[in-house]
């Protein structure tokens, strides 16, 4: 569905970094950033379904698809070798201007350079307030920025620091949700940060052209990409909806009620864009090529978390890693889950229950659309598109318990409210 927002919606443009409190400024890491308190839900998941911040990739070395890059539509494959055992999973990718390489960022700030991309440094080992959620390259190819979920920005190589939102979670700026992405301007003299609520924050010479923060929307915003002129940008929601601002030209959206989007990339030629989804598929618009999900994605907990368009044609998608829950953990006896199953399904089929009209499915009677929206936030993007009534009992328990912890008993009519 086309999303054409009113461009007068609120947001903040920050272009004068000298006006910001010194403690909020993040330089090229000549100085170690100071940790700041950031209150977030313990179960919050960043970057369109990436693993929780602080979690490691233990076990990923046995999963050939985890923490890897897939080359599509003629893009060359540069690695890294699959099955890396990392301290933190991959979360974002940025292509070099030549189209012969890319950088990959991990949630702990680690940066991996492949092809003709040069490593200029990373934030791994620093005491980060929030996980890294995005990476953007400079036009020269000699530097890049990392963006963190708390709005912090780290600059490397010839990337200049133009300001950040780090430390602005106390009402000084209208940051209603975590930051989920970063996009650089065409000349490299500025960048935009994207909030999960659709807010857009402009720094340096980046022009604020509007945001979706004041509009109702059904899912979080997960990706931003600038136009080649630098006078506009595209936003994409987790449901696949695309919003255009400035001189960005709307050419279609990937919303189908089933898949979860994780990012958007604009072709270096300026003609068209692609939307990447957790299952590994991409949807092309404006003449760009689409691609189906590979057969190795889904069951092994390695969702796509980022996308980059290549100069010369083709697309790269980067896959992260969501480890399966420990088999010894049995959450089915959680008091709220036990009570809810007693009301919803125990006498009507249990975990395979289906309502008479077919709309409500499984032990907790999920609508398919609700299930698809909640599963990625619960750290299970592999469950998007799975029939709740056919999902494993533990998976149903996990998604339902996450929804309860974030939304309370309201989705079930308020029954069993107040239970642990």
Task: Lowest mean pLDDT of 63-67, 239-243, 324-328, name the range.
Answer: 324-328
* DSSP characters over 272-328: -EEEEETTS-EEEETTPPPBPPPTTSSTTS--EEEEEEPTTS-EEEEE---PPPPTT
User: In order of start, what are the domains of the chain with their CATH numbers?
Assistant: 1-324 (2.120.10.30), 335-412 (1.10.530.10)
- Distances from the Cα of 64 to the Cα of 111, 297, 301, 319, angstroms: 20, 10, 11, 11
Q: 149-194, pLDDT tens digit by residue?
A: 889 999 999 999 999 987 654 444 445 568 999 999 999 999 999 9
Name which residue leads in pLDDT, 246 or 16.
246
User: What are φ and ψ of residue 354, in 5° steps?
Assistant: -135, 130
Instruction: Report the predicted TM-score, pTM, of the whole model to 2 decimal places.
Output: 0.69
Q: Residue 363 has which token pair?
A: 């032990």
pLDDT of residue 259: 86
CA atoms within 13 A on the CB side of 318: 37
Residue 22 binned pLDDT confidence (cut-offs 50, 70, 90): very low
pLDDT of residue 406: 67
pLDDT of residue 17: 28
Q: 332-389, pLDDT tens digit by residue?
A: 999 999 999 999 998 999 999 999 999 999 999 999 888 887 887 777 877 888 899 9
Residue 253, C-beta contacts closer than 8 angstroms, at least 6 positions apart: 1, 2, 3, 240, 241, 242, 275
User: What are φ and ψ of residue 390, in 5° steps?
Assistant: -105, -5
Q: What is the mean pLDDT of the chain?
A: 80
- Measuring CA to CA, which residue among 39, 42, 40, 43 is closest to residue 399? 43
């Amino acid at each position: 569905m086309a999303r054409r927002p009113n461009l007068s919606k609120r947001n903040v443009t920050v272009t004068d970094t000298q006006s910001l409190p010194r403690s909020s400024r993040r330089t090229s890491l000549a100085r170690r950033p100071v940790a700041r308190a950031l209150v977030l839900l313990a179960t919050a998941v960043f970057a369109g379904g990436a693993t929780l911040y602080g979690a490691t990739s233990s076990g990923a070395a046995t999963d050939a698809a985890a923490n890897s890059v897939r080359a599509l539509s003629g893009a060359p494959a540069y690695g890294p070798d699959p099955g890396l055992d990392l301290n933190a999973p991959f979360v974002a990718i940025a292509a070099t201007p030549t189209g012969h390489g890319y950088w990959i960022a991990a949630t702990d700030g680690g940066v991996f350079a492949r092809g003709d991309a040069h490593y200029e440094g990373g934030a791994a080992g620093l005491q980060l307030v929030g996980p890294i959620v995005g990476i953007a390259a400079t036009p020269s190819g000699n530097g890049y920025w990392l963006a963190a979920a708390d709005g912090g920005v780290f600059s490397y190589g010839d990337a200049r620091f133009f300001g950040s939102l780090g430390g602005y979670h106390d009402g000084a700026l209208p940051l209603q949700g975590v930051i989920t992405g970063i996009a650089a301007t065409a000349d490299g003299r500025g960048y935009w940060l994207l909030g999960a609520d659709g807010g857009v924050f402009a720094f340096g010479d980046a022009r604020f052209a509007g945001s979706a923060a004041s509009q109702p929307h059904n899912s979080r915003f997960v990706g931003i990409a600038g136009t080649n002129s630098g006078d506009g940008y595209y936003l994409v929601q987790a449901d696949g909806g695309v919003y255009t601002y400035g001189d960005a030209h709307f050419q279609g959206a990937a919303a189908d009620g089933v898949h979860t989007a994780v990012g958007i990339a604009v072709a270096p030629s300026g003609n068209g864009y692609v939307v990447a989804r957790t299952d590994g598929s991409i949807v092309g618009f404006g003449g760009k090529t689409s691609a189906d999900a590979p057969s190795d994605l889904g069951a092994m907990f390695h969702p796509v978390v980022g996308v980059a368009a290549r100069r010369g044609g083709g697309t790269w998608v980067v896959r992260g890693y969501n480890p399966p829950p420990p088999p010894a953990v049995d959450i089915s006896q959680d008091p709220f889950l036990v009570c809810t199953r007693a009301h919803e399904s125990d006498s009507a089929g249990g975990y395979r229950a289906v309502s008479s009209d077919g709309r409500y499915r499984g032990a907790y009677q999920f609508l398919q659309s609700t299930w698809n929206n909640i599963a990625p936030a619960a750290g299970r993007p592999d469950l998007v598109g799975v029939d709740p009534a056919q999902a494993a009992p533990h998976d149903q328990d996990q998604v339902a318990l996450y929804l309860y912890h974030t939304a309370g008993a309201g989705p079930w009519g308020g029954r069993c409210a107040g239970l642990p």
